[in-house]
């Protein structure tokens, strides 16, 4: 489906982030995407569906939750793709500020780190249980943030 890795950061204009900041950003993207997809799907669920789905989450049954999503929301991968596209657009818009704040922090200028911008509105669903821990598509290994090390891609290839 897609990968949360250095290629994504390059696409977003964040390739120059230091490795530790890249890892933080990838983790933030994953967590934000997971939350947004969960919120979007929860809006479409009945109370009974929310209870059933959250049962999988409470039991840490990711495989069961994925199977449940595939059965009850066969378009959930489309929701993931749509939310990722929105998130990518927001990050691209903020990439210059993220880079500037990160570089300022590295240069000791005391600026607050901006590697994790506020990219999502506060949740508005207060009366319903939260289904925010939505497992990602079955090929979620491609979505797991890939740790970045200090070597450049060119150095690794050599």
Q: pLDDT digits over 114-127, tens only?
A: 444 444 443 333 33
Residue for token pair 């901006």: 114
Rounded to whole angstroms, the Cα distance separating 158 from 147 reads 20
Instruction: Tally the domains of the chain.
Output: 1
In a domain, 70, yes or no: yes
The pLDDT of residue 106 is 83
Q: What are the pLDDT digits (tens) for 75-89?
A: 999 999 999 999 999
pLDDT at 1: 59
- The stretch 88-103 carries a mean pLDDT of 94
Mean pLDDT to the nearest integer, 93-122: 69
Q: Is the residue at 100 inside a domain?
A: yes
Q: 140 lies in a domain?
A: no
Q: Domain span at residue 97? A: 1-105
- Residue 153 domain flag: no
Evaluated on CA atoms 71, 72, 76, 78, the torsion sign reads positive
Mean pLDDT for the stretch of residues 119-136? 42
| pLDDT tens-digit readout, 55-67 | 999 999 999 999 9
């Amino acid at each position: 489906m897609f990968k949360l890795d250095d290629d994504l950061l390059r696409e977003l204009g964040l390739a120059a982030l230091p490795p530790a900041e890249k890892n933080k950003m990838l983790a933030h993207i994953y967590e934000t995407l997971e939350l947004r997809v969960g919120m979007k799907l929860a809006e479409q669920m009945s109370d009974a569906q929310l209870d059933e789905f959250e049962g999988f989450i409470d039991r840490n049954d990711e495989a069961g939750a994925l199977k449940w999503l595939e059965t009850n929301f066969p378009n959930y991968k489309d929701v993931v793709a749509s939310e990722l596209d929105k998130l990518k657009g927001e990050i691209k818009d903020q990439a210059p500020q993220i880079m500037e704040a990160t570089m300022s922090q590295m240069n000791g200028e005391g600026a607050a780190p901006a590697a994790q911008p506020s990219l999502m509105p506060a949740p508005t669903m207060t009366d319903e249980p939260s289904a925010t821990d939505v497992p990602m598509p079955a090929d979620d290994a491609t979505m797991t943030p890939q740790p970045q090390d200090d070597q450049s891609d060119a150095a690794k290839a050599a």
